[in-house]
């Protein structure tokens, strides 16, 4: 699965002013609304609800919040690089600065899991994380994320 199939270049942002996980979820909802036409409040609520099941901070400054949404027809992703990391209750207690939110149709099933695995595999690569942290240009960040040579099969 290719990240470019569900990550629009306009859904990649660098942000400075996010001070909390809740505010970050609001920002993700706002971006999803602007880029994909999703309802921002519904998206925010779905992210919050998923997070109550367990934190989606996976370590190394990376978070993978995700949610299934009614009415969504295909996968949609939003990537944010924060200039100032935010506490995310991550497994390693490291504040998060690389966030990839994934939104899936309610009935996506295995497709949702494959997309999550692709995102996880991409952000698990140390060189990819370094490149993402060294860039402030959303177009460059999108290129790093969607570079198929950097994504290895599981």
The catalytically annotated residue of 21, 66, 112, 129 is 66
| Token pair belonging to 124 | 């698990």
Record the tokens describing residue 3, joined without a space. 């990240």
Neighbouring C-alpha atoms within 13 Å toward the C-beta of 38:
34
Residue 142 DSSP SS3: helix
Q: Is 66 a catalytic residue?
A: yes
- Taking CA atoms, 146 is separated from 1, 12, 58, 77, in Å, by 11, 11, 20, 12
Active site residues: 66
């Amino acid at each position: 699965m290719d990240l470019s199939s569900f990550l629009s270049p306009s859904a990649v942002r660098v942000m400075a002013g996010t001070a909390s996980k809740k505010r970050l979820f609001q920002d993700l909802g706002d971006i999803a609304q602007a880029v994909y036409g999703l309802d921002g409040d519904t998206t925010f609520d779905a992210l919050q609800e998923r997070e109550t099941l367990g934190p989606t901070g996976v370590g190394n400054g990376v978070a993978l919040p995700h949610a299934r949404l009614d009415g969504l027809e295909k996968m949609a992703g939003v990537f944010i690089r924060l200039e100032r990391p935010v506490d995310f209750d991550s497994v390693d207690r490291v504040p998060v600065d690389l966030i990839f939110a994934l939104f899936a149709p309610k009935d996506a099933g295995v497709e949702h899991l494959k997309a999550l695995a692709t995102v996880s595999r991409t952000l698990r690569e140390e060189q990819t994380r370094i490149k993402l942290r060294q860039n402030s240009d959303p177009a460059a960040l999108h290129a790093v994320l969607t570079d198929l040579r950097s994504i290895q099969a599981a």
